[in-house]
Amino acid sequence: MLGYYLDLALRSLKRNKVLTALMVLAIAVGIGASMTTLTVMHLLSGDPLPGKSAHLFYAQVDAAPDAKKREPYDVLDYQSAMDLWSAKRADRQTLIADSQIKVHAPQANQPPLMLMMLSTTADFFPMFDVPFQYGRGWSAEDDATHARVAVISADLNNKLFGGTDSTGRSLRLRDSDVRIVGVLKPWRPSPQFYNVAGGRFSEGQTAAFYTKPEDVFTPLGSGLEINGDNFQPFTCWGRPSMPLHLQSAPCVWIGLWVQLDDAARVAGYRRFLEDYVAQQKALGRITRSDTRLRDLMQWLDFNGVVPRDVRLQTWLAFAFLAICLFNTVGLLLAKFLRRSGEIGVRRALGASRAAVFAQCLTEAGMIGLIGGVAGWLLTLAGLWLVRRQPTPYADMVHLDPGMFLATFALAVATSLLAGLLPAMLAARVAPALQLKTL
């Protein structure tokens, strides 16, 4: 019967081309607008490490004496960070701190570049599934000995070495030479989840969450020795001495991530943080007892990494889709009721109400499928326009297979929903009354 209903639906659509075009256009425009904004929303709010994010946690303790603050600072002071990291109470743990640095490759015919450098620890790469094109990350021993080694991004490798395997070559960071031990594959996490801090305080700060990852990665100890006075503190609660020595300054500037592979390890690490704060309070270094341990998705949500304008645009787009849906309901109602005579004859010849209802829904579904194709094209056009906008995440916007299928599913579901009321009314047409008017 489905083939028969499809044939009837196709004939009906050809018979009323203008009305069909209006319904397809209404669905296509609504789908195009809503799927464009939904795709951007999906990109910005998706899980950057599916299957692993629930095991990655961001740790917070607060050495600041301000008792009025309701939340600990987003990052740690140097002593707290090193104490927690050195305790090795997690399955893996990594420290992060970024700074600008002058980079030059003696072998490359390129002028020096001012780039962002992330000073971190060896577990950073396996914890965050960072992909390598050449070489590998450094070892825990390199962290301990402050080895002069570095990992560079694919972009920097292309600029300085033409994309060839540059492991083993030298790179000058400021006034020090380091040896390249690894080159990343093109890697663009969305958002830059490992370095999220302060987003909830400033709407403009969220733009930083979608910038490209740093071009140079070094062991934390090496980075401090090479570029110590260029690390920018997140905030300070006292007047630091000059010149600034961040290792002893009353400032917070280092982030700590830990990997905890089961619930028992999570509970144990929470107790460890509380015990550490209690110990430091006893020593008089810390006055506040606040600790936090949020998993990756909780941390992103807490910092509000999805820009508010994107959320608003998504709601407005779906409101527009609802308007298109109501317009489609009206057009389908007019179309089906104009065929009351035809429906009456079918009913008089033995067609059941369920058959008439199924036929009308099949026609609505076919309209939705055609509207989905047109909506998909409008979605591609909308995403092309987004990519041309001056936003940090514009170059990452694309329609993945899941959103491609969602476009057609939403179009068909919308048209079927729009066709329910008209199909029900068409199925209730009284055959005798219609036959009298023929």
- Give residue-wise pLDDT tens across range 261-318: 999 999 999 999 999 999 998 888 888 878 999 999 889 888 877 666 666 777 777 7
The DSSP line for 292-345 is: EEEEHHHHHHHTT-S-HHHHHHHHHHHHHHHHHHHHHHHHHHHHHHHTHHHHHH
Q: What is the DSSP letter of 36?
A: H
Question: Which phi and psi angles does 114 have, rounded to 5°?
Answer: -95, 115
Nearest-angstrom CA–CA distance, 163 and 306 = 33
Give every CB contact of residue 355 below 8 A, 6+ residues apart in sequence.
1, 346
Task: Compute the Cα dihedral for 96, 98, 104, 108 and give only its sign.
Answer: positive
Domain ranges of the chain: 2-48+307-436, 63-289
pLDDT at 5: 66
CB-side neighbour CA atoms (13 Å) of 234: 23
- Give residue-wise pLDDT tens across range 327-356: 888 888 777 767 666 666 666 666 677 777
Nearest-angstrom CA–CA distance, 429 and 341 = 9
Stated pTM of the model: 0.74
- Give residue-wise pLDDT tens across range 63-105: 887 756 678 888 999 999 999 999 999 999 999 998 999 999 8
Identify the band that residue 167 occupies on the pLDDT scale cut at 50, 70 and 90: very high
As a dihedral over the C-alpha atoms of residue 266, residue 268, residue 269, residue 272, rounded to 10 degrees, the angle is 160
Q: Which of 22-36, 54-68, 233-247, 252-266 has the lowest mean pLDDT?
A: 233-247
Question: Which phi and psi angles does 256 have, rounded to 5°?
Answer: -125, 120
Q: What percent of the chain has pLDDT over 70?
A: 83
Residue with structure tokens 């969450």? 209
Among candidate residues 354, 331, 359, the one with its CA nearest the CA of residue 418: 331
Residue with structure tokens 């209404």? 26
Residue 11 scores a pLDDT above 60? yes
**Cβ-count burial of 54 within 10 angstroms (0-12 exposed, 13-18 middle, 19+ buried)?**
middle
**The Cα angle at residue 280 between residues 274 and 284, in degrees rounded to 5:** 140
Cis peptide bond upstream of 243, omega within 30:
yes
